[in-house]
Amino acid sequence: MRALRPGQPGACGQRGNPAARSLPRPLPWVVEAGERKFPELAEQATIPILVDLRAPWYGPCRIVGPALEQVTRNLAGRPKLVKVNVDENPRITQRFSAQAIPTLLVLNRAAVVGRRAGAAPAPASRDRVETVIAAATSTGPPRPSGSAA
């Protein structure tokens, strides 16, 4: 059997390959960020940002992550989910004084307008995120609060 090279019909990623067309594309409103990209992706955004401070190896984070992605898909274009690996990005974790993981932050124009530490059931997370996003998008300038995300 001969190996296929890029550009040859049937090579993975080519238009002629039905398998390549069926692969899910990354969603523009669900992104990973490190310390370099965080300001661009989260702090300079004009829409509300959900920041998921997480560790990919930690069980509760692995449960909460897909639920947050689903909420973000359902609200497509209203919020953006920025996932931050706390092990690789300690400065971001320190900046937001996160002492537990997962920690969910809601940013509106770089200000924290909501926060929740720990894993919450998916329906509770969805309801709270939708409430905070609705308030953030309808009120103009952010109002810092101690409310939970």
Output the domain CATH number for residue 87.
3.40.30.10
Structural contact between residues 142 and 109, judged by C-beta atoms closer than 8 angstroms = yes
- Statement: the pTM of the whole predicted model exceeds 0.85: no
pLDDT at 75: 80
Length of the chain: 149
Is 15 a domain residue?
A: no
Is 40 a domain residue?
A: yes
For the segment 51-71, what is each residue's pLDDT rounded down to a tens digit? Answer: 999 999 999 999 888 888 888
For the segment 113-123, what is each residue's pLDDT rounded down to a tens digit? Answer: 888 888 877 77
Residue 65 backbone phi and psi in degrees, to 5 = -55, -55
For the segment 6-46, what is each residue's pLDDT rounded down to a tens digit? Answer: 555 544 544 554 554 554 555 577 889 999 999 988 888 88
Is 3 a domain residue?
A: no
User: How many domains does the chain contain in total?
Assistant: 1
Q: How far apart are CA 79 and CA 20, in angstroms?
A: 28
Residue 77 domain boundaries: 29-138
